[in-house]
Amino acid sequence: MLKSYNYPIDNEYIREMLSILEYIGADEKQRKNIEDEQDAYRLLEVMSENKRKELEAVIKEKDEALKEKDEALKEKDDAMKEQESMIAYLKAQLNR
């Protein structure tokens, strides 16, 4: 007969101790179920970590592309300002 503590536990150390005690007190079939569940959680953690790394790489690529586009836009803005100043200068020369 397996006893379990069915109340919320805030302390991570106590939660870990209870899971160890549940494992020790479990029969072979229950231990197998606990191990399978732990393996599933570990697999989810690994998959989540891999997905996070993939997303970080995509975000980094997008950030770099945005920086390149920002630089290109700045260059175009500078060129337009130069052209506008040239146009203003030529208009001033015509109006003399």
Q: What is the pLDDT along the chain (96 residues), one digit of tens a residue?
A: 566 777 888 899 998 888 888 888 888 998 999 999 999 999 999 999 999 999 999 999 999 999 999 999 999 999 999 999 999 999 999 887
Round to the nearest angstrom and report the end-to-end CA distance of the chain.
Answer: 104
CA pair distance 12, 66, nearest whole angstrom = 42
Total length of the chain: 96
Q: Tokens for 78? A: 């500078």
Which pLDDT score, from 0 to 100, does residue 3 have? 67
Looking at residue 25, its pLDDT comes to: 84
From CA 85, how far away is CA 61, in angstroms rounded? 36
**Rounded CA gap, 30 and 42, in Å?**
18
* Token pair 């175009």 in the structure block, residue: 76
Identify the pLDDT of residue 23.
Answer: 86
pTM: 0.52
